[in-house]
Amino acid sequence: MIQKSPEQLEFARFLAQIGHEIRTPLNAIKGFGELLADETVGELNPAQKKYMGKITDNAQQLLLVVNQILDWAKMESDQIRLDKQPLNLSRIADEVGNLMELRMQEKQLTYTVNEADWANVAGDWSRLREVLVNLVGNSAKFTDKGGHITVSFEQKEQYIITHVTDDGCGISQEKAAQLFEPFSKGLDRPGEEKNSGLGLWICRSIVELHEGHIWVKSEPEKGTTFSFALPCM
């Protein structure tokens, strides 16, 4: 483990404190916005519904960025603790599909999980779900309408390998080499939401905390496969 300087640790703690201060009112904005958008407290006209939808969507995106900054700060200050339990990776992939169902429907994407009742590891369910949400979300961003995303599994020696494969626009080798660095902007795409540049770095950190490793293979105009390997149980 790389030793952090006192200045780095102090900066990470500062960011964590700021993140917590921002997240509380942001959750309130998002919650009250959803109440208004659902017309729980009164009927809205079409223009009002449209604007409330934009408010809640942007609040959700900002909340995601704040949560990623909090995760980054915790990892930088070595505050992440894993709750390792026996789990099945294909079950997590199924749950991610349910969480992202609306996004898949909006782009008419086909999401397939190759079920594997043997893909068992000792891991932190919520953290590994976060990894797959990030990887599948990136695939959805870079896959055009009507495309396909597949989660598959294989066992190699003492590792279970999870692959997230899409038939999207692909990533150049130059950008792919930078993807797992903090604040990388290699996955920004015109017309899509900007990302914080922390998502894939957080994925790498979580996988490494599980004593695994993560990588990407991609070819422009042909698609991308993100893979991570975790020790078998």
> 189 near 141, Cβ under 8 Å?
yes
CB-based burial label for 213 (10 Å; 0-12, 13-18, 19+) = middle
- Beta-bridged to residue 225, according to DSSP, are 165, 217
- Res 1: pLDDT: 47
Confidence of residue 104 (pLDDT cuts 50, 70, 90): very high
Q: State how far Cα 37 lies from the chain centre.
A: 26
pTM: 0.76
Could you read off the pLDDT of 12-54 as tens digits, one per residue?
677 777 777 888 888 888 888 888 888 887 888 888 888 888 8
